[in-house]
Amino acid sequence: MKTPEVSVIVVNWDRRELLRRCLHSLVQQQGLDFEVIVVDNGSHDGSAEMAEAEFARSGLLTLRVLRNARNMGFCRANNQGIEASRGDFIALLNNDAEAAPGWLAALRRAFDWGEDVGMAASKILLKEQPRRIDKVGHLIYPDGQNRGRGSGEWDQGQYDRTEEVLWPDGCAAMYRRRMLEEIGGFDEDFFAYGDDAELGLRARLAGWRCLYIPEAVVWHHRGATLGLTSMRRLMLIERNRVLLAVKLFPLSLLLLNPVYYGARLAAGAWAAVHGKGEIARHEGLWGKLRAGAAVLAGDLAALPLLPRMLLKRRRLRAIRRLSDAQLRRLILSHRIGLRELMERAAQ
C-alpha cells in the first residue's frame, strides 16, 4: 500500500452530523495523497459506524476509525491518531470544522519554506458568519492565557499574507512528523483546551517555526464541543494556562505571573460589567459568580499537577534551542494587549 504524504486526524465525540460534514469536506481535497484517521472517544450516537459505512467502506476516503470505550480527551485521542498514522505530515481537523477544497494542499506547501518549519496554521472562519474570523494563528498574554489572532474581526484581507505566527490552532493545523518525533506529541495532562498552545510553544522552544497560510481556509462551528458557557470548559482553560506557564515560560515571566494574572482578573471584571469578554457570556450575577468560581477551580486544579510540570520542565532541556531571553522576546513579540484580551472572549 502506498504511503500517504499526509495523515488527517479527526477526533470525535457524539457529533455525528458535524462529523459527516467534516468528512465530506475532506472528500473534496485535491492535490496530494492523504489518509484520514477518525479517533472516536466513546460516542453513543453512531458516529463511528457512520464514518465507516459512508466513507471507509464506500471508498470515498482512505479512512480508519479508532474507537475508545470512553472519552479520553483531545490530547490522548490525537496522540493515538499520530501513533497510527503513516504520513510525513500530520494534519488535525476538528469534527466541528469544514475545510475548503484546497485546505490540505495549501497547508502542505508551508513546509517547502524551510526545514525548520514544523507547524502550519489555517485561516479559520466562523461557519455561522463565514466572513468573520475565528482564528488566524494565536497570540498570548504574559500570564499564559491565549487568544486567537484576529478573533471576531471581519475578514477584509488584513490577514491575506503568509507570515510567521506563534503556533497554529488545533482546530485546523498541520505538523511535521519529524518535529513531533523530536519534541513529543500532546501533553495528556492537559486533556483538552490549551493543549495546542502547549505543543506549539514547546515546538518554538525547540527551535521550530510556524507559518500561517491564508489560502488554507476552514469554517468552524464555534463552541460545539462543551459549549461556550460550560463551567468545565472555563475550568480547563484556566487550569491549563497555569500548567503551560509552569512548564514552558522563562523564569523572568514566570515570577511575574501573579502580577499579570491579577491585572487580567481586574480587567476581566471591568469588561464583564460593561458586557464584554468571556464572563459577559454568563447571564446575571449568579452566572458571573459561577464563572468566577470555575476560574478559581481551575487554579486549584492545577496545584496537584505542578510537580509533574516542573519535572517535565527539567526534561525539556534536552530539546530546547532558545535561551530564556529568546523565549521571552518571542512571547512578548506575539503578546495580546490586556484590553484586547479581556474584550475578546475565548473561542
Rounded-to-integer distance, Cα 340 and Cα 16, Å:
35
* CB neighbour list of residue 29: distance below 8 Å, 6 or more residues apart: 99, 101, 102, 103, 104, 105
Helical pair 231-248 and 284-302, crossing angle rounded to 10 deg: 30
**What is the tens place of the pLDDT at every residue in 139-186?**
999 999 999 999 999 999 999 999 999 999 999 999 999 999 999 999
Q: Where are the chain's structural domains? A: 6-220, 231-343
Identify the pLDDT of residue 284: 64
Beta strands 163-164 and 209-220: pairing type?
antiparallel
Q: What is the DSSP string of 214-241?
A: EEEEEEE-TT-SS-TT-HHHHHHHHHHH
Beta strands 138-140 and 146-148: pairing type?
antiparallel
Rounded-to-integer distance, Cα 328 and Cα 344, Å:
24
Please give the chain's pLDDT, 347 residues, in tens: 689 999 999 999 999 999 999 999 999 999 899 999 999 999 999 999 999 999 999 999 999 999 999 999 999 999 999 999 999 999 999 999 999 999 999 999 999 999 999 999 999 999 999 999 999 999 999 999 999 999 999 999 999 999 999 999 999 999 999 999 999 999 999 998 999 999 999 999 999 999 999 999 999 997 655 555 688 889 999 999 999 999 999 999 999 999 999 998 888 777 776 666 666 565 666 667 787 889 999 999 999 999 999 999 999 999 999 999 999 999 999 999 988 887 665 44
Superfamily of domain 6-220 in CATH is Spore Coat Polysaccharide Biosynthesis Protein SpsA; Chain A (3.90.550.10)
**What is the tens place of the pLDDT at every residue in 237-280?**
999 999 999 999 999 999 999 999 999 888 877 777 666 666 65
Q: Is this prediction's pTM over 0.85? A: yes
Q: Which amino acid is at 343?
A: E
Rounded-to-integer distance, Cα 30 and Cα 34, Å:
9
Rounded-to-integer distance, Cα 73 and Cα 255, Å:
31
